[in-house]
């Protein structure tokens, strides 16, 4: 137990002072990541050796063959033998690097015989995970409060590298990822696992990993995907298979409970103020990066909500835009993709319809969770 704790501590370390000024790849958590580090070290030593062999003579010449010391220039300008030699020797050095690299590529690409398949979907700007074997599915998004980022004073222990719900995987099992996206290209990257896979909209790309020991591993989206690119981290929590099984059961229970409470929530009738205060929070985390806290948007890039015809128009159209998104833009299908709950959608729509210069006349100014549920059922 002690050992495991110590190990976990070590693996968690990158976020703390311990690993500041880190000079190398993060501590590996999979065999592949370990092999990558070994390969990198090998290549780096070769480079270092060549550097000495090439620049030793160069600096010697710069020191000894200066005009200032009275050195007279020689006149030679080629030497067939040495030229052939320094063309051929590098080829052998390259082969010594290419061989282990090829082995490792084949291992990394071998996604067969997996124990568990998880579908990873990139959205602007969160990750969605779906356990294909049992249908557990959730969105994972940045947990660092917006105010901390905009305030310019990071305080969280895992600033920008923390999420509301991590991806949970069992240790010792081969986890296959099928990676895709619904809008632009993202890239799912966790350094400690040795996995970086671009998420290409409309295509499935595969990757795999097998975590040795329990721990929490952090990564980030690695492909520029718009204004939220720096704000869609990845957190993977690896636990022993027994605990993972327990977690899974819990998820099923939670799903059942969630559907019950969703039912309850859907039936609940909230007041305008309740909806608005909840909607303000949802807006700040989900909508404000594009549409701005003032609702003014960014002209030419993201439309304003303040005074928007959609927001001030028929409730149906507003609901449709939030629920189904707008294809070809960063506007997600927040309802259809289950990024936001019915309750959150109702709250944020109500907030938008009653904020800034928007004053939609009653009763069109209030959207209840039940309205969203009805809309969803109608889809």
Partner 1 sequence: MTDIAATHPTQHGSHPGGLARWLTTTNHKDIGTLYLWFSLVMFLVAGALAMLIRAELFKPGLQFFQPAFFNQLTAMHGLLMIFGAIMPAFVGFANWQVPLMIGAPDMAFPRLNNWSFWLLPAAACLMLSSFFVPGGAVAAGWTMYPPLYIQGGIAYDMMIFAVHILGLSSILGAINIITTILNLRAPGMTLMKMPIFVWTWLITAYLLVAVMPVLAGAVTMLLMDRHFGTHFFDASGGGDPVMFQHLFWFFGHPEVYIMILPAFGIVSTILPTFARKPLFGYVSMVYAVASIAILSFVVWAHHMFTTGIPAGAQIFFMYTTMLIAVPTGVKVFNWVATLWRGSITFETPMLFVLAIVCLFTVGGFSGLVLSVVPVDVQLQDTYYVVAHFHYVLFAGAAMSIMGGIYYWLPKWTGHMYDERLGKLHFWLTAIAFNVTFFPMHFLGLAGMPRRIPDYAPQFADFNMMASIGAFVLGASQLLFLYTVIKCVRGGKPAGDKPWEGATTLEWTLSSPPPYHSFTEPPQIYLEAPHGHA
Partner 2 sequence: MDTPSPYYQPPPSHWPVVGSLALLACAGGFVLVLDKSRSGGAYVMAAGGVLLVVMLFGWFGTIVREGLAGKLEGQVDRSFRWGMVWFIFSEVMFFAGFFGALFYARQISVPDLAATPLIWPGYAGGWPTAGPGNAEAFTPMAAWGLPAVNTLILLSSGATVTWAHWGLLRGNRGQLTIGLTLTILLGATFLALQAHEYLHAAFSLHTGIYGATFYMLTGFHGAHVTLGAIMLSVILARVRAGHFTADSHFGFSAASWYWHFVDVVWLLLFVFVYWL
Which of the residues 143 through 162 are near partner 1 (CB under 8 A)? 148-154, 158-161
The token pair at 327 is: 């294809």
Regarding 112 and contact with partner 1 (CB under 8 A), the answer is no
Regarding 76 and contact with partner 1 (CB under 8 A), the answer is yes
Give start and end residues of each alpha helix (H) in 175-240: none
Q: Distance of CA 168 to CAs 138, 203, 232, 245, Å?
A: 11, 24, 17, 11
Do 229 and 221 contact (CB within 8 A), yes or no?
A: yes
Regarding 204 and contact with partner 2 (CB under 8 A), the answer is yes
Among 103, 203, 249, 260, binds partner 2 (CB under 8 A): 203
Binders of partner 2 among residues 102 to 121 (CB under 8 A) are 119
91's contact among partner 2, partner 1, none, with CB below 5 to 8 A by partner kind, is partner 1
90's contact among partner 1, partner 2, none, with CB below 5 to 8 A by partner kind, is partner 1
119's contact among partner 2, partner 1, none, with CB below 5 to 8 A by partner kind, is partner 2
User: Residues 6 or more apart from 316 whose CB is under 8 A from it?
Assistant: 375
Q: In angstroms, give the least distance from the CB of 63 to partner 2.
A: 47
Torsions phi, psi for 205 (to 5 deg): -120, 145
Among 90, 135, 253, 307, binds partner 1 (CB under 8 A): 90
The token pair at 178 is: 């099928």
Regarding 202 and contact with partner 2 (CB under 8 A), the answer is yes
Segment lying near partner 1 (by CB under 8 A), choices 165-173, 214-222, 312-320, 365-373: 214-222
User: 152 or 327: whose CB is closer to partner 2?
Assistant: 327
* Paired strand residues for 120: 129, 179
Segment lying near partner 1 (by CB under 8 A), choices 45-53, 244-252, 269-277, 349-357: 45-53
Binders of partner 2 among residues 139 to 178 (CB under 8 A) are 178
Tokens 């620049």 -> residue? 55
Do 201 and 129 contact (CB within 8 A), yes or no?
A: no
Regarding 258 and contact with partner 1 (CB under 8 A), the answer is no
User: 152 or 300: whose CB is closer to partner 2?
Assistant: 300
Regarding 74 and contact with partner 1 (CB under 8 A), the answer is yes
Residue 250 CA, distance from chain mean position: 25
Segment lying near partner 1 (by CB under 8 A), choices 55-63, 133-141, 275-283, 355-363: 55-63
301's contact among partner 1, partner 2, none, with CB below 5 to 8 A by partner kind, is partner 1
> What is the spatial distance between Cα 332 and Cα 324, in angstroms, rounded to a whole number?
7
The token pair at 20 is: 């500041």
Regarding 298 and contact with partner 1 (CB under 8 A), the answer is yes
> What is the spatial distance between Cα 349 and Cα 278, in angstroms, rounded to a whole number?
11
Question: What's the burial of 191, exposed, middle or buried (CB within 10 Å: 0-12/13-18/19+)?
Answer: buried
Among 30, 140, 180, 354, binds partner 2 (CB under 8 A): 180
Regarding 245 and contact with partner 1 (CB under 8 A), the answer is no
R_g of the chain, CA atoms, integer Å: 28
Q: In angstroms, give the least distance from the CB of 160 to partner 1.
A: 5
Calculated CA dihedral for residues 90, 96, 100, 103, nearest 10 degrees: 80
């Amino acid at each position: 137990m002690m050992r495991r704790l110590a190990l976990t501590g070590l693996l968690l370390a990158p976020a703390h002072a311990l690993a500041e000024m880190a000079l190398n790849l993060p501590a590996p958590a999979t065999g592949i990541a370990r092999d990558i580090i070994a390969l990198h070290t090998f290549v780096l030593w070769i480079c270092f050796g060549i550097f000495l062999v090439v620049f030793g003579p160069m600096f010697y010449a710069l020191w000894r063959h200066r005009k200032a010391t009275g050195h007279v220039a020689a006149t030679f300008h080629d030497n067939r033998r040495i030229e052939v030699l320094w063309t051929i020797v590098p080829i052998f050095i390259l082969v010594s690097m290419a061989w282990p690299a090829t082995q490792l590529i084949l291992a990394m690409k071998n996604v067969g015989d997996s124990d568990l398949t998880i579908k990873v979907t990139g959205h602007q700007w969160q990750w969605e995970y779906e356990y294909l074997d049992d249908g557990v599915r959730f969105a994972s998004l940045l947990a660092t409060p917006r105010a901390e980022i905009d305030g310019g004073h990071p305080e969280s222990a895992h600033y920008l590298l923390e999420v509301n719900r991590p991806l949970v995987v069992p240790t010792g099992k081969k986890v296959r990822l099928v990676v895709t996206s619904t809008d632009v290209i993202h890239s799912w990257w966790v350094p400690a696992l040795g996995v970086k896979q671009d998420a290409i909209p409309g295509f499935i790309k595969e990757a795999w990993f097998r975590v040795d020991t329990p721990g929490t591993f952090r990564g980030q989206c690695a492909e520029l995907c718009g204004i939220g690119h720096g704000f869609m981290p990845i957190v993977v929590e690896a636990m022993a298979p027994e605990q993972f099984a327990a977690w899974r059961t819990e998820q099923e229970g939670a799903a059942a409970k969630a559907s019950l409470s969703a039912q309850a929530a859907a039936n609940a009738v909230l007041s305008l103020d309740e909806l608005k205060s909840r909607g303000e929070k949802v807006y700040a985390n989900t909508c404000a990066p594009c549409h701005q806290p003032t609702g003014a948007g960014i002209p030419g890039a993201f439309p304003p909500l303040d005074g928007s015809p959609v927001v001030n128009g028929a409730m149906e159209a507003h609901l449709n835009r939030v629920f189904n998104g707008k294809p070809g833009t960063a506007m997600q299908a927040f309802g259809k993709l289950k990024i936001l709950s019915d309750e959150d959608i109702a709250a944020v729509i109500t907030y938008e319809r009653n904020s800034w210069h928007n004053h939609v006349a009653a009763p069109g100014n209030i959207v209840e969770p039940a309205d969203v549920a009805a809309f969803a059922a109608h889809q």
